[in-house]
Copies of this chain bind each other. A is one copy, B any other.
Amino acid sequence: MAVQAAEIPQNTTSAVDLGPAVALSCRECGERFPLGPVFACESCFGPLEVAYELPSGDVEELRRTIEAGPKNIWRYAPLLPVPADVASHPNTNPGLTQLVKADRLAKELGVTGGLYVKDDSGNPTHSFKDRVVAIAVEAARAFGFTTLSCSSTGNLAGAVGAAAARAGFRSCVFIPHDLEQGKVVMAAVYGGDLVGIEGTYDDVNRFCSELIGDPLGEGWGFVNVNLRPYYGEGSKTLAYEICEQLGWEIPDQIVIPVASGSQLTKIDKGLKELIRLGLVADKPYKIFGAQAEGCSPVSTAYKAGHDVVRPQKPKTIAKSLAIGNPADGPYVLDIARRTGGAVEDVDDEQVVDAIKLLARTEGIFAETAGGVTVGVTRKLIENGQLDPALTTVVLNTGDGLKTLDAVAPTTGPTATIRPDLDAFRAAGLAG
């Protein structure tokens, strides 16, 4: 059962300090609600998002403040739903990950206008989820929650477990009971409660929705449910960092993975904010969505010219993108079409090839989602949809160490030899 705006508990409607965030606003009908742990509009059931009163002073001063700020996402605190003193709170402090000038990859792909990889494997638990969870932690604090929770099959569980530990929250994370042992260890090692649910990921999600509506879940902040409006804003920091790292310029083209689609919509939101504030010059940019063929509801709709996204049953190695019924799918279609981008997909073999291409050209070992964005970039260039003469940023949102199985069957030693020079000479590897 979804908690709607009408049900905001009294103790959370008092003036919470979340910095420039002043209200929640319905993305469909525009109705406004006080800041609180709610996520659906009471009038039209549309998704709520954070509305701001952004800084209106001297833009150069704002730029200097940002540049002199912490070397993590809190440098953008004036643009995020967090209190001004957020950097002094215990949190995982993700962000300011490397924007890698990928000249060798560019050469292989034929990109001449400048190619960059935004490598979010440098975050504390090695995925972009640390960004969104860090914001959710601050909202949970403001609303007086004591337990952090989520449903997850991987990256999110680790990000929530780590952030809860650092910030002093209890955590209780729900996973399908039959996950691989490695993922279970990553989710459990931070010492919170980890509950295996006998059922599929969809069963886990349904159970979490029930729990939110029940007294058993009182005091619980589910980062991707009742804290979702705040959580989602963490993805804006990818837009801020990319532009700052390019010398306060918007790139011409950005390739973004699409799971629920939230990340792509928030990056677009972030770019528009930077333009409105005057931190970057207004210019056209194209946003491209990337999916795996085995879970491609948005690219299928894009290519068919539909506005409606028809759910799919996922079957792909890109498990972190395997959301068959993406909540923000229609918004992704809007943005790709409005900006002149596209949504494309690649099959699992192309994902593996792209992981290896990125590793051997740039020394970045991406998880499968990174294989999807690099593979889609190559396909978009071949299709003529992405212009290789323009500046292009490709996102890698996670770490190859978490999806070793994707490349393991085709990745091994060149040779195995006895420890002597004759054997080495015979192997033909000298020179």
Contact = CB atoms under 8 A, between A and B. Distances in A.
A191 B108 CA distance: 14
B199 A168 contact: no
Interface stretch (A291-299, A343-351, A381-389, A413-421): A413-421
Interface stretch (A34-42, A200-208, A264-272, A316-324): A200-208
Given A211-B424, A408-B185, A413 B196 contact: yes
- What is the total number of copies of this protein in its complex? 2
Given A98-B93, A125-B365, A189 B402 contact: no
Given A217-B430, A365-B186, A199 B401 contact: no
Contact of A407 (B177, B189, B211, B404): B189
A32 interface: no
A71 interface: yes
Interface string A207-247: 10011001011110000000000000000000000000000
A185 B404 contact: yes
Interface string A253-285: 000000000000000000000000000000000
B185 A407 contact: yes
B103 A90 contact: yes
A204 B424 CA distance: 12
Contacts of A162: 359, 363-365
Given A216-B421, A356-B191, A360-B190, A122 B122 contact: yes
A416 B195 contact: yes
A419 B206 contact: yes
Contacts of A425: 216
